[in-house]
Structure 1
Amino acid sequence: MHILVADYVPLANKGEEAIVRGIEDMLSAGRPLSLGLFDDVPQVTRRDTITVFPRQWLFRFEGNSALSGRSRILMQARIALQLRLGLRGLLKNLTPAGPEQCRPLQDFFQRAEYVLVGHDGVFCVESCGIIHLAKKHGKRTGILGASAGISGGRRYKAWLYRRAMEESDFCIFRERHSCESMKQVCRDPAKLRVGPDPAFAMQPAPREAAREVLERHGLYRQARSDNRPIVAVTALEKGRVYAGFRPDLQGRAKQEAHVEYWASILDRLIDKHRAFVLFLPHSVESDGSDLVAAKHVIQQMKAPPDHCAILEQDCGPRLLKAIIRECDFLVGERTHSLIGSVSVGTPFAALTNRRDTRTHGIIGDMCRCEDRIVDMDVLGEHEAALKIMELFERRDAIRESLGQIREGLAKQIEETVRTIKGSRGSAS
């Protein structure tokens, strides 16, 4: 079975790959499966079950960055006009009308049973054109995991978005805010619904694989030997969570304030609870690596260096999820590390801000864990540390409560699978 995830998917961000692997686990049903997607690669690349096509073959921009900046908005408006006039632009590369160099993509599109758009919140005017084209070619197609609404660029997007939702076989959003926004332009609002981010469905690697990686680190082995609690951390310096932290600051001043905030929290966990802090590489993108962010935080911490470590190995998302399962607690800014924590039952505290509808929608609303979210634009570092201490001290009760949450999510994932497969699912 072939599934084309017709989005820009930067695989260096393990949250992005977690979504794709979740789709793989949701739809494979034990059958061999090939996934296609788009990333910044110079030529077609294969990674086990994933075929990666050059992003430039289909998209002019990288993800939702297309929605910011006057020049990019104008370009999106131009693309929208072309699509309304029936001009396919780069989308012709999916069909035999495209150039010979895109033949592998054309073959994959022809064989695809499903064409999905909207992963990790990404949804743009090109997504609308992809749905239209896929429908014309008899594919089962739709929106899965989007968290982009109709706010910016409504004048040029509304008609295309309306048509896309009419033509889609399913419209599943990963948080309520975006779903309600898209209902404003949908003729059949009941067709739109909220469902779990596909990363919830991704199975973790075996425990033995996670333990093998962790046991290579002498500091980790010593911490386990000393019966110290292991606290996983995902810290970042890029994206909406970081942008929402102290928006009054920029550049070096913002970075310094951010690491001071983190250092205050982690030093308190170490001092009061003898915690051992393990920084995870949830993204190793060249322009926003979590490894760099972790080093900045450690430099600011007062705790001795043997109280923390950075996992520098480039781990796949299944392995990272398994590693989170081995930890006693997680403090994270990365939404998909929090999704992983919920999925495997590891207690956590989420760091974000009030404007982050993604974390609040997925973790707060869908997972009913709003009390485990720390808005850094509301609480100072001292108040944040106190709240995280309180959550850490309740970790056994939180772990137990996550069991019921996971059961509810599993039922919602099953419903999502039935919706995506439609009659094909009942026939298989």
Structure 2
Amino acid sequence: MTSILIADPIPLLNKGEQALLEGIVESLNIIFSKPDIMLLSNYPEKDARRSRIPVINRNPVLFKSIKKIMPRSAFLLEGALMAILARFGKQNFRRLFTRSELWQAFLNSDIIVVGHDSSVSYDAVIIGWLLNKPLVIFAGSIELFRNKLKESIAKVLLKKVNLITLREDDSYKALMDLGVIPGVKTQVTADAAFLLKPCSPERVKEITQQEDLPVHDRPKVGVTLTRQMCERSHQEINDVNERYKKAIAEKAIVLDEIIERYNVEIVFFPHCIGPGKNDDRLVARDVIQLMKRKDMVKPVVSDLGASELKGLIGQQCEVFIGERTHSVIAAMSQGIPSICITFPSDRRTHGIIGGMICQRDFIYNVERLNPIELLTLVDKLWAERPVIRKKLEGIIPLVKERALNSARLIQTIVSEKEKSDNGYRCPSSQH
């Protein structure tokens, strides 16, 4: 059985992150025979309720004094000490760490996933490298570094990774510029969330009743709005709270007009429910309060899983307007014409939605938010629905196949490791 540790914590209150995790797990289960997959978490109690794989507390527990003095460095310091003692220390030192579920997961892993989405856990890279474990970035994006020191450190550590799979071309170019390619095996595959399966029609029916969602024949427009995008609008306003107020007022106008023009109902789908203000339900509430046609609007309010949200979107929506990349992927991957609202420097979204799915015409710049311009784009989307659906139906199967390549490439790394296995494992687990 292949043991795979996802050491890059994935916060599952964010349903886009959950969609990524589900897609990663789905692809690994397709390619490997009953893999043993575990997830590290900074919030294990919250994430365990939302994960279908075992969740392990990422917070160090052996040396609590280190955590008190240097909370942000405790994981790296304890992990590095564990790795060094495990490989080179005496047996009694090794046993100290084998009592920890966290470090056992590292010691017994065959592959360590150190990156996903737009993040890389560089501390996990160091620990995995010290243990001589194969390290993988799974269909991620590489950030642009504004700090030269951070860029230099990242360049060194990325060269320790055995396999990097990416979800858009700009990240490949970024690695070329860093000099990581051609040294590290790298390939552009696709975002793992394309592989997320929607929940069953029966479950959709249950949720529809539970949420008291409209069941009329009238078409429905799915919407996901976020505080981040509201605060990115109207850059000429210095106060972010004032930006937010102006943005929600304009979006209320747009949604009221959409209802009138197309005789539709609006359903809000929250793709993140925390922590704090980072809750899409709060934005939906604020926009609805400003709308005239409240009778034609319904927000989803329950803590639904990514597959449940995808199932609802697929069953309910004629078109979709989203400010979270993975809410739009949930719609487009089911052939639903969509508009993705983001900002120009969001390379991830432009690369996936604009490049890989060829929907560049339907990416809207929130920094130039204007109700008339946005409604013009909605008009175009509505008019071209049949053409867009047909285009998506042709593209999405190809993208899903590319998404599976990340797991296929990991399989080649595992095969190479099995031929020359010199990574450290717990004594009780050694072959």
* Alpha carbons 2:234, 2:243 under 8 Å: kept: yes
Residues of 2 paired with 1:352 and 1:43: CA distance?
A: 28
Residues of 1 paired with 2:99 and 2:382: CA distance?
A: 52
How much has 1:130 moved relative to structure 2? 4.0
Counterpart of 2:13 in structure 1 is 12
More displaced stretch, 121-130 vs 35-44: 35-44
Counterpart of 1:62 in structure 2 is none
Counterpart of 1:40 in structure 2 is 43
Counterpart of 1:358 in structure 2 is 348
How much has 1:362 moved relative to structure 2? 1.2
| Cα RMSD, aligned residues only | 2.9
Residues of 1 paired with 2:166 and 2:364: CA distance?
A: 24
2:273 aligned with 1:284: yes
2:249 aligned with 1:248: no
1:44–1:279 Cα change, 3 Å? closer
Partner secondary structure for residue 231 of structure 1: strand
More displaced stretch, 91-100 vs 322-331: 91-100
Partner secondary structure for residue 192 of structure 1: strand
2:190 aligned with 1:196: yes
How much has 1:282 moved relative to structure 2? 0.9
Counterpart of 1:142 in structure 2 is 136
How much has 1:164 moved relative to structure 2? 3.4
Which of 348, 357, 364 is the matching residue for 1:374?
364
Structure 1: any 5+ residue segments left out of the alignment?
59-74
**CA deviation vs aligned residue, 1:14-49 (integer Å, no higher than 9, x gap):** 111111110100001262643212233479956553
**Counterpart residue identity of residue 126, structure 1:** D
With normalisation by structure 2, the TM-score equals: 0.82
* Alpha carbons 1:144, 1:171 under 8 Å: kept: yes
Counterpart of 2:411 in structure 1 is 421
Residues of 2 paired with 1:44 and 1:204: CA distance?
A: 20
1:42–1:319 Cα change, 3 Å? closer
Point out which structure has higher relative CO (alpha carbons under 8 A, 6+ apart): 2
Structure 2: any 5+ residue segments left out of the alignment?
62-70, 87-92, 419-431
2:228 aligned with 1:234: no
Counterpart of 2:117 in structure 1 is 120
How much has 1:425 moved relative to structure 2? 6.5
**Counterpart residue identity of residue 350, structure 1:** C
How much has 1:379 moved relative to structure 2? 4.9
* Alpha carbons 2:271, 2:324 under 8 Å: kept: yes
How do 1:86-105 and structure 2 match up within 5 A?
88-92=76-80, 95=83, 103-105=100-102
Counterpart of 1:317 in structure 2 is 306
More displaced stretch, 97-106 vs 21-30: 97-106
Residues of 1 paired with 2:82 and 2:303: CA distance?
A: 32
Residues of 1 paired with 2:143 and 2:46: CA distance?
A: 32
Partner secondary structure for residue 143 of structure 1: strand
* Alpha carbons 1:284, 1:314 under 8 Å: kept: yes
1:189–1:243 Cα change, 3 Å? farther
More displaced stretch, 362-371 vs 149-158: 149-158
1:32–1:152 Cα change, 3 Å? same
2:176 aligned with 1:183: yes
Counterpart of 1:129 in structure 2 is 126
* Alpha carbons 1:34, 1:49 under 8 Å: kept: no
1:181–1:219 Cα change, 3 Å? closer
Counterpart of 2:260 in structure 1 is 271
Counterpart of 1:220 in structure 2 is 214
Counterpart of 2:421 in structure 1 is none
**CA deviation vs aligned residue, 1:254-304 (integer Å, no higher than 9, x gap):** 11112123212211210011111111121111321111010011011121x
1:184–1:88 Cα change, 3 Å? same
Which of 159, 175, 181 is the matching residue for 1:166?
159
1:425–1:364 Cα change, 3 Å? farther
Residues of 1 paired with 2:235 and 2:79: CA distance?
A: 37
2:402 aligned with 1:412: yes
- Percent identity of equivalent pairs: 26
Determine which structure has more spread, i.e. the larger CA radius of gyration. Answer: 2
Which of 387, 393, 417 is the matching residue for 2:377?
387
Partner secondary structure for residue 228 of structure 1: coil
**CA deviation vs aligned residue, 1:79-111 (integer Å, no higher than 9, x gap):** 7xx9xxxx9514348656697697111222233
More displaced stretch, 15-24 vs 393-402: 393-402
How much has 1:352 moved relative to structure 2? 1.3
1:6–1:247 Cα change, 3 Å? farther
Residues of 2 paired with 1:130 and 1:343: CA distance?
A: 36
How much has 1:188 moved relative to structure 2? 3.1
* Alpha carbons 2:9, 2:39 under 8 Å: kept: no
Partner secondary structure for residue 4 of structure 1: strand
